[in-house]
Amino acid sequence: EIVLTQSPGTLSLSPGERATLSCRASQSVSSSYLAWYQQKPGQAPRLLIYGASSRATGIPDRFSGSGSGTDFTLTVSRLEPEDFAVYYCQQYGSSPPYTFGQGTKLEI
């Protein structure tokens, strides 16, 4: 089972600033099958990034993903008030289980 470790656990920033979130895998993620999700309180997760760097439909271009192998990054270039939420990475390249990271809380 691939274990994903996200850092930091909590990131405190202000609107307009740049956010950099990290996701490290315990072994290489095949074919960069790494996704990022955003979750707000009381809501289901929303897919932001798939294939490590492709934005999902309707996702603003201030969200970008990068990385390969075991190290991946989600960047939010200029934070908007609605971006403050919890972010999860997920690997889905190997056989199940499709594991998630423990989450990074992005707070004001």
Partner 1 sequence: EVQLVESGGGLVQPGGSLRLSCVASGFTFRSYWMHWVRQVPGKGLVWVSRINSDGSITTYADSVKGRFTISRDNAKNTLYLQMNSLRAGDTAVYYCARPRLVVGAPDFDSWGQGTLVTVSS
Residues near partner 1 (CB under 8 A) are: 31, 33, 35, 37, 44-47, 50-51, 56-57, 88, 90, 92-93, 96-103
Sheet strands (E) in 1-108: 4-7, 10-12, 19-25, 34-39, 46-50, 54-55, 63-68, 71-76, 86-91, 104-107
Is the CB of 62 or the CB of 105 nearer to partner 1?
Answer: 105
Minimum gap (Å) between residue 89 Cβ and partner 1: 10
Residue number, 69 or 93, with CB nearest to partner 1 = 93
Half-sphere exposure of 44 (CA within 13 A, CB side): 2
Q: Which residue lies nearer to partner 1 by CB, 15 or 66? A: 66
Minimum CB separation of residue 35 from partner 1 in Å reads 4
Give the C-alpha separation, 35 to 98, whole Å: 11
Contact between 35 and 19 (Cβ < 8 Å): no
Shorter beta-carbon distance to partner 1: residue 84 or 92 = 92
Coil, strand or helix at 32:
helix
Minimum distance, C-beta of residue 100 to partner 1, in the bound complex (Å): 4
Q: How far is the CB of 77 from partner 1 (least distance, A)?
A: 22
